Copies of this chain bind each other. A is one copy, B any other.
Amino acid sequence: MDILSVVGLVLAFFALVGGAILRGAGAMALVSVEAFIIVGIGTIAAICVQTPLSVMKHALSIFPWAMKPPALNPENLIKKMVEWSNVARKQGLLGLEPVLNQEPDAFVRKALQLVVDGSEPDAIRGIMEVELGAREHADTLGAKVFEGMGVYSPTLGIIGAVLGLISVMQNLADPSKLGPGIASAFTATIYGVSLANLFFLPVSAKLKVAIAAQAQVREMVIEGMISIAQGENPRAIESKLQGYLH
């Protein structure tokens, strides 16, 4: 669990509700069914029009990374690959076959399979970079679903506010309703801007960092497996791969 995500969401709640109370607007000023319908449902509407079903499913499946990014453990991967390079130098590439079934990560396993099959280094790189690129592309489309919601929700907050103001303006004759009417119109703005800036955009940004970190680790795996296929010195491999750890 990424501790900062929890801290951030708690602080966001505190800043909004605490701020509303301290300001004298009261916490109830933040509650509005109409604003929820316009901003919440409107944002969902926009993102549904924008997103193919398969991308939407993928976005939901990677959403947990915002709270708990996938465990990458590149140090451990380096240790494993150095071990494998030792095995390969002693027993030949076929000596890695028993390892193949124990490897839990599908990406690493595919690369290892290519090495065991005796593929050319260039072929390994070509095939694995297609794999890396396709996964990164799919994950990035998922992260962009949340970015899209962060772009649409403030504009739906504006629509909600303007609808509220229209309602107020139609009843200007009764000044006693003017203030509360405008106040409630603004709630939609708060919803739209808060959802975007305290949730959707930060979540999308965090997913993108997690995706980039994963891609970098996979670049490292490709580099390492090619070095193994070329029978490079285990210590040289270790030193090279450690360059990715920064």
Contact B34 A14 (CB under 8 A): no
Closest residue to A179 on the B side, CB-wise?
Answer: B172
* Interchain nearest-CB distance for A50 vs B (Å): 4
- Chain B residue numbers with a CB within 8 Å of A119 are 236
Chain A interface mostly helix, strand, loop or mixed?
helix
- Chain B residue numbers with a CB within 8 Å of A155 are 154, 193, 196-197
**Residue A186 is within 8 A (CB to CB) of chain B in the complex:** yes
Interface string of A34-45 (1 = CB under 8 A from B): 100110011011
- Chain B residue numbers with a CB within 8 Å of A38 are 15-16, 19, 23
**Residue A96 is within 8 A (CB to CB) of chain B in the complex:** no
Interface size range on A against B: 35 or more
**Residue A166 is within 8 A (CB to CB) of chain B in the complex:** yes
> Could you tell me which residues of chain A, from 8 to 46, have a CB within 8 Å of some CB in chain B?
8-12, 14-16, 18-20, 22-26, 29, 33-34, 37-38, 41-42, 44-46
> Could you tell me which residues of chain A, from 184 to 239, have a CB within 8 Å of some CB in chain B?
185-187, 189-190, 193-194, 196-199, 201-203, 205-206, 209-210, 212, 216, 223, 236, 239
- Give the B-binding residues of A (Cβ under 8 A): 2-5, 7-12, 14-16, 18-20, 22-26, 29, 33-34, 37-38, 41-42, 44-53, 55-56, 66, 69, 110, 113, 119, 126-128, 130-131, 134-135, 137-138, 141, 148, 151-152, 154-156, 158-160, 162-173, 175-176, 178-183, 185-187, 189-190, 193-194, 196-199, 201-203, 205-206, 209-210, 212, 216, 223, 236, 239-240, 243-246
